[in-house]
Amino acid sequence: MDTIVLQQELFKIIRTKLPEHLSAADEIARILDISTDSAYRRMRGEKTITLDELSALCLHYQISLDNLMNIQTGAFLFQGNIIDSATFRFDKYMESTLKSMTYMNTFKQKDFYYLCKDIPFFLHYSFREIAAFKHYFWMKTLFQFPEFARRKFSFKDYTDESFELGQKIYSLYNSLNLVEIWNIESMNSTLRQIDFYREVKMFESDEDAWQIYTAMEKLIDHLEAQADIGYLYNSDDPEKKPKGNYRFYFNEVILGDNTMLVELDGMKTVYLVHSSVNYMATKDLAFCNHTYNTIQNIMQKSTLMSSAQEHERARFFKFLRDRIKNRKESLRV
């Protein structure tokens, strides 16, 4: 590929990654530690960028040089962090998530697709009881923090600060235009986690489990109401003020894998979840387009529950409620 053409393509990709309110020249100047005028000369192709500058820009904007040069290696570039229980701080993880969600909301087009193997992470913060339980599960079972080794679940151990931070993330999630694709299994992992802690007697009382089940019933009510009206609103908003658009799909045969795809002003990013809370992200064009097309195909083979399909919607949510009802009844035996 011609050097000037390659350079122009590089800056074209960078522009797609920047919110409209940011100047590409100013950002490039800042990253390369050069003047804005020098940045403009590089963007116009009047000055050739150096290998060091190319490396700095590709690293900062997570641009694959193979893709830029149309080299077909069969490899995809991902980035992400692997949580280490020895150094992990959950508040920092949440602050990073808040930063990402804030960034997504700076764009005009902000479409978010979620293949729900489990309850979407963000929805845990719609109700405090669910957030408190999931926090306990993550700290005790996933990260195995020593201070949780013998600790039983208690609502009083979950701090207001943690929940308030989670609610900010949840509210920003609701500000996107969402497509969630659910299956009848999507709530099972959380229900099984509650079942397990009941069996090993890690609840201080059955009342705690009862409150979590009740909160999950409220979550189901909230999801059904949003699906009915076709838009999102915060669960604690009695006025139900509209936020993002909402399309809720039910697929009977395909179990999601918690893949997330976000499209921001035409720029796609895919997030792959692994090890429960770790994730990898890529902006690789071929991978993102393939994932987008896969999601569109799944949507065509799913039932849209939003703003229509009243009978199917009622049947699906009743099925979820019955699973929780049976568990609540077992507490009273």
Q: What letters, b where the CB count within 10 A reaches 16 and e where it falls short, cover 288-311?
A: beebbeebeebbeebebbbeebee
Where does the pLDDT of residue 151 fall: very low under 50, low under 70, confident under 90, or very high at 90 and above? very high
What is the spatial distance between Cα 289 and Cα 282, in angstroms, rounded to a whole number?
Answer: 11
- pLDDT by residue (tens digit) across 170-213? 999 999 999 999 999 999 999 999 999 999 999 988 999 999 99
- pLDDT by residue (tens digit) across 179-190? 999 999 999 999
Q: From 1.10.1740, 1.10.3470, 1.10.10, 1.10.260, which CATH number describes the 3-68 domain?
A: 1.10.260
- pLDDT by residue (tens digit) across 74-104? 667 677 777 666 677 888 889 989 999 999 9
142 burial level (CB within 10 Å; 0-12, 13-18, 19+): middle
What is the spatial distance between Cα 267 and Cα 298, in angstroms, rounded to a whole number?
Answer: 21
Mean pLDDT in the chain? 89
Domain ranges across the chain: 3-68, 90-331
